[in-house]
Amino acid sequence: MLTSEYPGIVPETKPYGINKLRETWVVKESVRRSMQSNTSTETGPERMLRKAIYRAGLRGYRKNVRKLPGTPDVVFGKQRLAVFVHGCYWHRCPKCTRDIHPKTNSEFWKAKFDRNTERDRANKRQLRKLGYTVVTLWECEVRKDPTKCAIKVIKAL
Ligand SMILES: [Zn+2]
């Protein structure tokens, strides 16, 4: 089940399959969860954030706006605010992935992670050019305290 849904991880018959990765890598529970929740549409922390935003009384946002760079998870169009909830694993959360590096094929993974973070930066730049304020939240902080994250969003509006 953990194969083709992960961008960049090819089916497990190939050397970079996720099971191979698990064997060769001491993966923290939090990071494993983060890998599992990485899909391009709906993930746990995104839902948690939207619930918290809704509870805070905010309405009128759109989710997963594909026409904007990077497909922001939450967008307030009128106020030009784009919010990303970044999965800690793929987007290399400094807190969660500082000591987590693949033991094998490290060059391959480093290049892949570098591309991800560079893409994130480029998306942010483009959004700012379009006049958007960008709020980036890490999955771990949303899981820990969604309300606090919702307040960050409110403050940016
Ligand atoms: Zn994190």
Dump pLDDT digits (tens) for 68-123.
999 999 999 999 999 999 999 889 998 888 777 777 888 888 899 999 999 999 99
**Between 84 and 22, residue with greater pLDDT:** 84
User: Does position 39 have pLDDT exceeding 60, yes or no?
Assistant: no
Give all domains of the chain, ordered by start, each with its CATH number: 41-156 (3.40.960.10)
**pLDDT band, very low/low/confident/very high, at 133 (cuts 50, 70, 90):** very high
Ligand 1 midpoint to CA 42 (Å): 18
Ligand 1 midpoint to CA 95 (Å): 5
CA 134, 140, 146, 151 torsion-angle sign: negative
How much of the chain, in percent, has pLDDT values that exceed 70? 73
**pLDDT band, very low/low/confident/very high, at 4 (cuts 50, 70, 90):** very low
User: Does position 43 have pLDDT exceeding 80, yes or no?
Assistant: no
User: Does position 14 have pLDDT exceeding 50, yes or no?
Assistant: no
Ligand 1 midpoint to CA 133 (Å): 22
CA–CA separation, 154 and 116 (whole Å): 27
The region, left, alpha or beta by phi > 0 then psi within -120 to 50, assigned to residue 136 is beta
What DSSP element (H or E) covers 76?
A: strand 74-76
List the structure tokens of 128: 């700012």
Ligand 1 midpoint to CA 20 (Å): 23
Ligand 1 midpoint to CA 32 (Å): 12
Ligand 1 midpoint to CA 94 (Å): 7
Q: What is the arrangement of strands in the sheet containing 133-138, beginning at the earlier edge strand?
A: 62-63, 74-76, 81-86, 133-138
Global confidence as pTM: 0.71
CA–CA separation, 49 and 43 (whole Å): 10
CA-nearest of 76, 83, 69, 68 to 122 is 69
Q: How many CA atoms lie within 13 A of 78 on its CB side?
A: 4
Ligand 1 midpoint to CA 113 (Å): 15
Question: In whole numbers, what is the pLDDT of the chain averaged over residues?
Answer: 81
